[in-house]
Amino acid sequence: MQRIGVFVCHCGTNIAATVDVKAVAEAMKNEPGVVFSVDYQYMCSEAGQNLIQDTIKEQKLTGVVVCSCSPRMHEATFRKAAAKAGINSYMVEIANIREQCSWIHKDIMTATEKAIILARTAVAKVQLNAPLTPGESPVTKRALVIGGGIAGIQTALDIAEAGFDVDIVEKQPTIGGKMTQIDKTFPTLDCAACILTPKMVDCAQNEKIHIYAYSEVESVSGFVGNFTVKIKKKARYVDTTKCTGCGICTEKCPKKSVPNEFNLGMDNRRAIYIPFAQAVPKVATIDADNCNMLKNGKCGVCAKVCTAGAIDYKQQDEIIEEQYGAIVAATGYNPISLEKYDEFAYSQSKDVVTSLEFERLTNAAGPTSGQLLRPSDGKHPHTIVFVQCVGSRDTSGCGKEYCSKICCMYTAKHAMLTREKYPDTDVYVFYIDVRTPGKLFDEFYRRAVEQYGVHYIKGMVGKVAPRADGKLLVQASDLIANEQLHIEADMVVLAAAIEPDKSARSIATMLTASMDTNDFFTEAHPKLRPVESPTAGVFLSGVCQGPKDIPETVSQASAAAAKVIGLLSKDKLTCNPCVAHSDELMCNGCSACEKVCPYGAITYSDKEFRQPDRTVAIRRVASVNEAVCQGCGACTVACPSGAMDLKGFSNKQIMAEVDAICK
Amino acid sequence: MQVNENNFRPKIVAFCCNWCSYAGADLAGTNRLNYPADVKIIRVPCSCRVNPMFILRAFQRGADGVIMCGCHPGDCHYTSGNYFARRRMTLLFSMLDYMGIERERTRVEWVSAAEGAKFAATMNEFVETVTALGENKRLEDLRCKSKQ
Amino acid sequence: MDKREEVLRISGVNVRKCMRCGKCSGTCPSYDEMEFHPHQFVYMVETGNIEPLMNSESLYKCLSCFACVERCPRGVEPAKVVEAVRLAAIRQKGNNHLKASAVPELLDEDTPQQLLVSAFRKYSK
C-alpha cells in the first residue's frame, strides 16, 4: 500500500475563491492510501515545496498528489521537489483544479465537488504509480550526411566547424549535386560554380569531413545517438589514393560515345571519366557498363597511359561499417520525366529542352561552350518560348500536385540572360501565376519584364508541333487578350517539375523516417521543428523535405547542422521514461504493435522461455527500444493480448482514473 | 422538464491528448470560459492511447457520456496517432450503438491547443445532449454500484 | 432547376478545380471558330453566367476532340462542360438527344468511325 500525501493549493484566491480547499483536503483524508492531507497558500512557492519535501520525509510518503494548476505548468516543479526529498519523481500526480475547475465554475458547491473528484482520481492513479527511471544512452560523436549536394555540403561544413567528425555519402563520383550543373544563380546572377566549388574544396580539405563519393548507404540500424550504418563503396576501378586526376586516361580512352550525364546527354564522354574539371574528389571513374576492358577484357589503354598506376580492373565493391550519433538526409531532387507530356514534343524534337538542359546550353563548360545554340542544327535561336508549370500543380496524374517553387525564378533568370546576351532574340514566357516571394525576387522578375522586354503571357501552351523546316509551332492561349497565339519558335524550354530523388524512398525506409505522398520527408512539426524528422536523430536538409531554392536550402542545411551539433554535444541522452513496455510472457508475436509504431521502436526477436513442464520453447516476442519510443501508446491499444503497456499511463492507471470519476 | 425535476446531472468522462486538447482545455480555463462541472478530464499522451476498454469501463461504471478529444487530423504530435484513434472509435461507437448506447453519448472531437473556445463550446453542447438523453443504464454494472 | 446547377449536374464536372491556366484554350483546335473559348465555358459556368453560352454558336463549333480534357492539368474536363451546356440548350428547345438505338439507321458506309465515337460522346448523355 502506498503512503500518499495530498497537498491542496489555494493559488492565492485563484483556486480558493471558488473551491473550498479545506473541504477538499479534509475529504482526501478518507481516501484509501492517503496518510496526510493539507492545504496551503502557494504550493509552487519555495515554502510550499519545502512543505512537500518535509512531509515526504516525516510521513515517509511514497506518493504525492498536488491539487493545483495544470500539470503543463508545474508538474516538473513538483517532480523535482519530490526527487529532492528522496522519492521517485514519477510518484507525483497533479490534480488540475485551477484551469479545469476553479476558473471555469462559479458555484462553490459544484466546484468543490468537482475538485474532490479530481483529487480522488489523482490519488487513485498514484496508488498504481511505479517509480520510473529515465534511461540513458551514449552518443557517438560522429554524424552522417546522406547526399553531397549544396545541402549536404553546407550541413557537413557547419558540423565540422563545431568540431565533430562528419561523413558525406554521395552516390555520384563527385560531390556538388545539381548546383554544379547550374550556370548562374538568381537573384544576384553570380555563377554557381564560383560560389559552390570553393565549398566543395573546403569539404575535401577539412580533416573533420570524410567524403565517401561513388558510395551508397546499404543499411541503417540502431537509434538516436547510436546508429550503425553500412556504406557500399562502389568499385571505381581506380585506386583513389594513387589517382592524381591528371585526366590523361579520359583523353586516351577509345570508347568515345558514352552520353555525358553531367551535360544531360547533350554531348559525350569516355568510358573512364572525371565528371567535370572541379570535381571533388578529383579522381577518374571507370563506367563498367561501357568499358571494353571490363566487359570483354580487350583494351587496357587507360592502365597503359596512367603514370601513377592507379587503374585497377579487379577492384570490388567494398562495404564499410561506421557508427554515427546523428544522420542527416540531404538526398535532393531531379526534374521529372516529361515522357507523358506528348503535347510539348519533348521526345520528338531536340530543340525542346528542359530548363536544366538550358542551363547546360548557356554554361561555358557546357556542350556548346556557353553559346546558346539550337541542339538540332547548332544555329542561333531567334524566338524562344518558355513554358512554366510543366508537371507542377498537376492533378491529372501525369505530374505533381505541388508547386515546384523554383521554376518562376529560374525561368525569369533564363529569359533575362537570353535577352541580355542576345538582344535580337524574342523571348516569351507562358505563366499561370508568377510566384516570386523572396528577398529581391519580385524585383528580379519585374526587371526581366521592364528592362529586358521579356514577353510574359498569362496563359498556357497547349501544343508544340515540330515543322519540317526545323521551326517549332507553338499554339498557346493568351488569357488576357482572350486569343489563341501561334508562335513560330526556334526553341522551347520546359520548366519541368522537380521531384525527390528516387533513392529517397529506400533511404527513408532504412531510417524509419516518414514520407508524404510525394516522397518528400516529413518534418517532426511543420512549423516548429522543420529540420527534424519525427524519427529521433534523423534530420532533414534541402529539397528532400520540400521544394526550395539555393538560399533556402543553405539556411535549412545550417539549421539541420545546428540540431545535429546540439545532439552531438551531449555525452548522454536522457530518455522519456513514460515509454511502452512489452510483457514477454503475454506477447504472442503477432506484429500488430510493430505496424502501428510511427518510430520503428518495436522489434521482434526469438527468445527462449521455460515452459511449465520444464522444457524450453522458443517464442517470437516484441521488445521496445526505450531510446526510440516516444510514448504515444498506439501499440498498447493495438496489442490483442494485452502484453503492451505504457509506463506512467498504464491500462490499470487509466482504468482507476475512470473508476474514480464514475464513482 | 422531467430531467430538471429529478435534478439529473450526467457523469461525463473526457479523454484529452496531452499536446492539443488538454492544452485547449487549459486555455478554456485561462480564458474563464464556462462549461459544466459534469465533465471530468483524463489526460492521455495521445488519443491513440485511448483503449476502447476504457470507454466500455466508463459506461460500465455508470458514465452517461464519453468524449474523446485529440489533435486535428494531420497535426498529431506523434504523426499518426489520431488516425488510429479515429478508426478505433468509429468501430467502437457503432458497436456501442448496436448495444443500445445512443450515438449521441459518444463523441470524438478534434481540439487544438489554440481552441479553448471550441473546447468549452463542445463540452457545453455535449453535456446538454447527454442531459437530454437522461441517465444511461444500458451497460451499467449494478454490482459496481452496490459496493458504494 | 437553376441553369448552373443543371449544367453542373449533367456534366459531372467540378468547375472549382480550374486554376485558370488556359491550357484548354491553348490546345483547342477550334479556338478561332468559337466566340466563347473552353476556359471561358468553365469560368462562366462557375460564375453562373450561362445564358450567353446557351445562345452562342460556340456550342456547335466544339469538335468534341477532347484535347482540352486530355491536357487539363487539374482534371477539369472542359469539353464535358461544353457538352452539358449544349444539352441544356437542346432540352430547353424541347428536343432531346439522339438515342443510341436510332444510330444504326443513320449509318453510312463512308462515315469515319471517329465521327461515330464522337457522336456518342456528344449525344449519349
Phi, psi for C6 (deg, rounded to 5): -60, -45
Minimum Cα–Cα distance from C73: chain A residue: A394
- Read off the C-alpha cell for B27: 486555455
Specify the long-range contacts of residues A528-533, CB closer than 8 Å, at least 24 apart.
A530/A556, A530/A559, A531/A556, A531/A559, A531/A560, A531/A563, A532/A563, A533/A329
Q: Which CATH architecture has domain A580-647?
A: 2-Layer Sandwich (3.30)
From the list A106, A117, A637, the residue facing B49 with the nearest CB is A637
Q: What is the pLDDT of residue B139?
A: 84
Name A485's bridge partners.
Answer: A476
CATH number of B12-134: 3.40.50
- Kindly state whether residues C11 and C61 are assigned to the same domain: yes
CATH of region A142-234+317-332+501-568: 3.50.50.60
pLDDT at C27: 95
d(CA A22, CA A38): 8
Q: What is the pLDDT of residues A48-93, one digit of tens each?
A: 999 999 999 999 999 999 999 999 889 999 999 999 999 999 999 9
* CB contacts, 8 Å: B23 with chain A: 72
Whose CA is closest to A656, among A90, A272, A120? A120
Quick: pLDDT tens for A534-578. Answer: 888 999 999 999 999 999 999 999 999 999 999 999 999 888 899
Could you tell me how many CB contacts below 8 A there are between chain A and chain C? 74
C109 lies in the same domain as C58: no
Same domain, C76 and C108: no
Give the structural domain span for C116.
98-125
* pLDDT, tens only, B57-116: 999 999 999 999 999 887 788 878 999 999 999 999 999 999 999 999 999 999 988 899
B23 burial level (CB within 10 Å; 0-12, 13-18, 19+): buried
pLDDT tens column, A588-646 = 999 999 999 988 899 999 999 888 888 998 999 999 998 888 899 999 999 999 999 99
* Touch criterion met for A and C (3+ Cβ pairs within 8 Å): yes
Interval A477-491: pLDDT, tens = 999 999 999 999 999
pLDDT band at C98 (very low <50, low <70, confident <90, very high): low
| Co-location of C121 and C81 in the same domain | no
C108 and C82 within one domain = no
**What residues form DSSP beta bridges with B66?**
B13, B106
SS3 assignment for A474-498: EEEEECCCCEEEEEEECEEEEEECE
**Structural domain spans, chain A:** 4-128, 142-234+317-332+501-568, 248-305, 334-499, 580-647
Interface test mutation site (partner A, options B38, B43, B76, B112, max chain A beta carbons within 10 A): B43
Distance of alpha carbon B80 from alpha carbon A632, whole angstroms: 10
Give the three cell numbers for residue A553: 536550402
Same domain, yes or no: C82 and C122: no
What is the tens place of the pLDDT at every residue in A486-542?
999 999 999 999 999 999 999 998 887 888 889 999 888 788 889 998 888 999 999
Which residues are CB-contacts of A119 (< 8 A; sequence separation ≥ 6)? A6, A8, A24, A27, A28, A65, A67, A95, A97
- Are residues C88 and C124 both part of a single domain? no
Q: Do C22 and A458 touch (CB under 8 A)?
A: yes
Please tell me which residue of chain B has the smallest CA distance to A110.
Answer: B37
- On whether both C59 and C103 belong to a single domain, the answer is no
Can chain B be said to touch chain C, i.e. do they have 3 or more Cβ pairs within 8 angstroms? no
Contact yes or no for A484 and C37 at CB 8 A: yes
- B41 vs A100: CB contact, 8 Å cut-off? yes
What is residue A653's three-state secondary structure?
helix
| A405 Cα to chain B: minimum distance (Å) | 23
**pLDDT > 90? residue A308:** yes
d(CA B4, CA C49): 55
The residue type found at A44 is C
Which residue is closest to B84 within chain A, CA to CA? A634
Rounded to whole angstroms, how far apart are CA atoms A644 and A532?
A: 28
Q: What is the pTM of this model?
A: 0.77
CA distance C20 to chain A (A): 7
- Give residue A350's pLDDT: 94
Task: Annotate A240-293 with three-state secondary structure.
Answer: CCCCCCCCHHHHHCCCCCEECHHHCCCCEECCEECCCCCCCCCCCEECCCCCHH
Same domain as C75, residue C21:
yes
A98 vs A109: CA distance, rounded Å: 15
Cα–Cα–Cα angle for A519, A522, A527, rounded to 5 degrees = 140
Q: Which residues of C49-80 are buried (b: 16+ CB within 10 A; e: fewer)?
A: ebeebbebebbebbbbbebbbebbbbebbbbb
> Among C13, C124, C96, C2, which residue's Cα sits nearest to residue C51?
C2
Residue C123 has a pLDDT of: 58
CATH class of A334-499: alpha beta
- B-chain CB neighbours of A655 within 8 Å are 53-54, 57
Whether chains B and A touch (3+ CB pairs under 8 A) is answered by yes
What mean pLDDT, rounded, does chain A reach? 94
**What's the rounded Cα separation, in Å, for the pair A616 and A70?**
50
| C15 and C42 within one domain | yes
Burial group, residue A382, by CB count within 10 angstroms (0-12, 13-18, 19+): middle
Strand blocks (E) in A69-148? 92-96, 136-138, 142-146
Q: What's the first-to-final CA gap in chain A, in angstroms?
A: 21
Which residue of chain C is at minimal alpha-carbon distance from A475? C26
Q: Are residues C72 and C105 in the same domain?
A: no
Residue A185, SS3? strand
Contact yes or no for A104 and B42 at CB 8 A: no
Confidence of residue C124 (pLDDT cuts 50, 70, 90): low
* B120 reaches A (C-beta below 8 A): yes
Minimal C-alpha gap between C111 and chain A (Å): 28
ipTM score: 0.94
Selecting from B23, B34, B42 the residue whose C-beta is nearest the C-beta of A72 gives B23
C100 confidence band (pLDDT: 50, 70, 90): low
- Give the gap in angstroms from C-alpha A126 to the nearest C-alpha of chain B: 14
Residue in C with minimal Cα distance to A458:
C21
CATH code at C19? 1.10.1060.10
Question: Taking CB atoms and an 8 Å cutoff, what residues of chain A touch B42?
Answer: 121, 654, 657-658, 661
C75 plus C123 within the same structural domain: no
Of A393, A395, A477, the CB nearest to C22: A477
Q: What CATH topology corresponds to A4-128?
A: Rossmann fold (3.40.50)
Query: Higher confidence at residue B139 or residue A201?
Result: A201
What is the chain A residue with the closest CA to B146? A663
pLDDT in tens, A15-47: 999 999 999 999 999 999 999 999 999 999 999
Share of chain A above pLDDT 90, in %: 90
